[in-house]
Amino acid sequence: MLKQNTKRDAELLTAILPCQSCIYSTQEYNYHYVFVRNPKDVTTKEQIAKGEGYRLYKGIRTIRLPTITESIIVRPVIVKEYDTQSAETLDKIVREMHIVQTIRFKLGVNSVVNIEGIFTLQKPFHVLYKVCSEGSLLEYLKAHVEDVKAKQKLLLLQDLACTFYQVFKLGYLHTDISAQNIFVDFKEIVIKDLKEVTDPKKARFLIGGWKNAVMEKTKKFDADKYPLVSCRYLAPEIFTTNLLNESTEVYAFGLLIYEVFVLQKPYKDISDADVKKYLQDNLSIRPEMTDDICEDAQILIQECLEEDATKRPPMIEVWRRLRASNEPAAKSIVQRTAKTQQM
């Protein structure tokens, strides 16, 4: 009887406002455990980095479950502490939370770095991120130079391109694509049958750095507010159009491919403070291709870095090209499709 009753249609007696009428979402959900209400539930430890307008710390998040006997979950987190506590900062925090949680809901929990919690009831404002065991993508690749070959690099880039394509389909822009915003986490697999599992650990490549993302297909570029560390990934037309869009994201993804193979950021000899002016004065400059980059990747990088934005492939095509490099069957289909379109 209970099983049958749970299948019946039902409606709420009292309507639930979408996240307390938040302007960033129209869907109903419950992020009860994301909002930290007690400042004692967040413990910051040693500082690990300093960014523009914030500091990063190692930390601990305590979650108190409302059970008959109090149950507590303790998790390690990365704590971002903002220097300013303004309405603009609060807006940025809530927007980032919505974007990350929506992507996790729509695309899967292993697509982006999770926001474990936010604390905005008093100063300073905090955002709590999941701890990724291997750090950033470049840190992971440099630590596993002998293990991660060109084939594995193309596969991880294929997965990232697929995720970015799906993000664009949702109508979102990341606006800060680079290897420093991709993180690697090893997930321990529960072994049920030793015959089925050969490697007890599986690397997950998670996209982070959503603090400047928007829930729109274009974003006005504000040179004064854009992080200096991210300026080296800007497409040349941004300095004249002042717009970020999918084609500028594809340009940045081309530089991400370059980073994955060369294991260094583009224009490495130019400091973060000087790189914006350097690129403004040299709109045609591009990173030099090296023998570390396989032929398929070199061709794709050059297409993504086209000076004419209309000639760059859309992200779905970038994903298909990477998939074709990894799967011979897919490659033949792509080639036949290209010939048909030419005819």
* Distances in whole angstroms, Cα of residue 251 to Cα of each of 150, 164, 200, 311, 318: 21, 13, 36, 11, 11
Least confident of 99-108, 137-146, 307-316, 333-342: 333-342
Task: Note the pLDDT tens digit of each residue in 191-246.
Answer: 444 444 445 567 899 999 999 999 999 999 987 788 888 899 999 999 999 999 99
Q: Model-level pTM? A: 0.83
35-67 pLDDT tens trace: 898 899 999 999 999 988 999 999 999 988 776
d(CA 113, CA 116): 9
301 or 342: which leads in pLDDT: 301
* CB burial of residue 165 (10 Å; 0-12, 13-18, 19+): middle
Supply the pLDDT for residue 233: 96
pLDDT at 197: 46
- Tokens at 212, concatenated: 């400047």
* Res 328: pLDDT: 66
Side chain identity, residue 39: P
Q: Tell me, what's the pLDDT at 188? A: 56
Mean pLDDT of 126-150: 94
Domains recognised in the chain with CATH numbers? 17-131 (3.30.200.20), 133-333 (1.10.510.10)
CA 208 to chain centre: 4
Structure tokens at 228: 């200096």
* pLDDT over 60 at 9, yes or no: no
- Locate all alpha helices (DSSP H) within the chain, ordered by sequence: 2-5, 87-107, 137-143, 150-169, 238-241, 246-262, 272-281, 295-304, 315-326, 328-342
217 neighbors 174 (Cβ within 8 angstroms):
no
Handedness of CA 82, 87, 88, 92 (dihedral sign): positive
Mean of pLDDT values over 125-143: 95
Kindly give the pairing relationship between strand 219-220 and strand 201-207: unpaired
| 280-288 average pLDDT score | 93
Q: What percent of the chain has pLDDT over 70?
A: 81
The residue ranking higher by pLDDT, 7 or 106, is: 106
Residue 263 region, left (φ>0) first, then alpha (ψ -120 to 50), else beta? left
pLDDT at 156: 96
pLDDT of the residue at 75:
92
Q: What is the pLDDT of residue 139?
A: 95
Residues contacting 283, CB < 8 A, separation 6+: 236, 239, 307
